[in-house]
Amino acid sequence: MPFSGVLVNVVTVLVGTAVGLLFGGLIHDRFRSIAFTAIGVATLVIGASMSVGGLSRMMRTAMGDYAALVLVGSLVVGSLVGEALRIEYWLERLGVWLQGAARRAPFLAPVPEEETPEEKRHTLVDGFVTASLLFCVGALTVLGSLQDGLGDPSLLYLKATLDGFASIALAATLGAGVGLAVIPVVVIQGGIALGASFLQPFMTPAVIASITCVGGASILALGFDLCGIKRFPVGNMLPSIVIAAVVGGLLGR
């Protein structure tokens, strides 16, 4: 059944978020802190492996020696576009609005007042951006959504299972913003599935490798933030993924 994979993915993320919110409050602060660091380290590893793996695959396509240039150029130009559009600013504004809504709705588990300033800066928007990048970037997302649109949801069923378990851990430390990641899941995966017959010819190995490489670099930057090493405006880097896909399509023919 077409689109069943997207629907299952949405359900597993919501269920995982609910489980994480229900039981996350039972975890002592020091355990929450080490869990948060562990998620940050895991995000660093995932981002690095995705980016290096994508770069390696890019170098085996028609892009060849231009692979590193595509990575650097996409990140620089995309970040400049994101800065011009003030994507990070609008995401932060969204986070402020969501936090206000969370305080008015107890079931959204607002941030406790006793948390330290370092913990408070990880607002609902951090959960949203973190989960959105982890759930919506990568070859499995693209290929799974394409197959789902063509009537084979098996890859997205696998991804849905992984995302469900990941959302439990993320929601326990990042809060309800993780559940909001179903919005880009529906938009991105649903959009790819909906346009599968049209998009499939354009989803060449070079395009998928470019998306994975640059998307992995964005996830890597997010990992530095989660580990408390340095905060990067990851939101402003999001256009880089689109630029990488376009450039990969043009050079990878």
Q: Among residues 134, 145, 156, 239, which one has the least CA distance to residue 189?
A: 145
Domain that holds residue 202: 4-251
Contact assessment for residue 248 and residue 209, using Cβ atoms and an 8 Å cutoff: yes
Are 212 and 67 in contact by the 8 Å Cβ rule? The answer is no
> Residue 103 has what pLDDT?
58
Per the CB < 8 A criterion, the answer to whether 46 and 134 are in contact is yes
Residue from 68, 44, 50, 48 nearest 58 by CA: 68
* CA angle (48 as vertex; 164, 201 as ends), nearest 5: 75
pLDDT on residue 117: 42
Q: Is the pTM of this model over 0.85?
A: no
- Computed on alpha carbons and rounded to an integer, the radius of gyration of the chain in Å comes to 18
Which pLDDT score, from 0 to 100, does residue 116 have?
A: 46
**Which residues does 149 contact at the CB level (< 8 Å), separation at least 6?**
2, 3, 192, 193, 194, 195, 196, 197
Number of domains in the chain: 1
Q: Which amino acid, 70?
A: V
Q: pLDDT tens track of the chain, all 253 residues?
A: 668 999 999 999 999 999 999 987 777 777 777 877 888 888 898 889 989 999 999 999 888 888 999 999 999 999 999 999 998 888 777 766 766 665 565 544 444 444 544 444 456 777 888 888 889 877 678 878 988 988 889 889 989 988 998 898 889 888 888 998 999 899 999 999 998 878 888 888 999 899 889 988 988 988 888 788 888 888 888 899 899 999 998 987 6
Contacts of 45 (CB under 8 A, 6+ apart): 223
Q: Which amino acid is at 69?
A: L
CA dihedral 195, 160, 27, 93 (to 10 degrees): 0
- Nearest-5° angle of CA 181, CA 183, CA 186? 115
pLDDT the model gives residue 222: 82
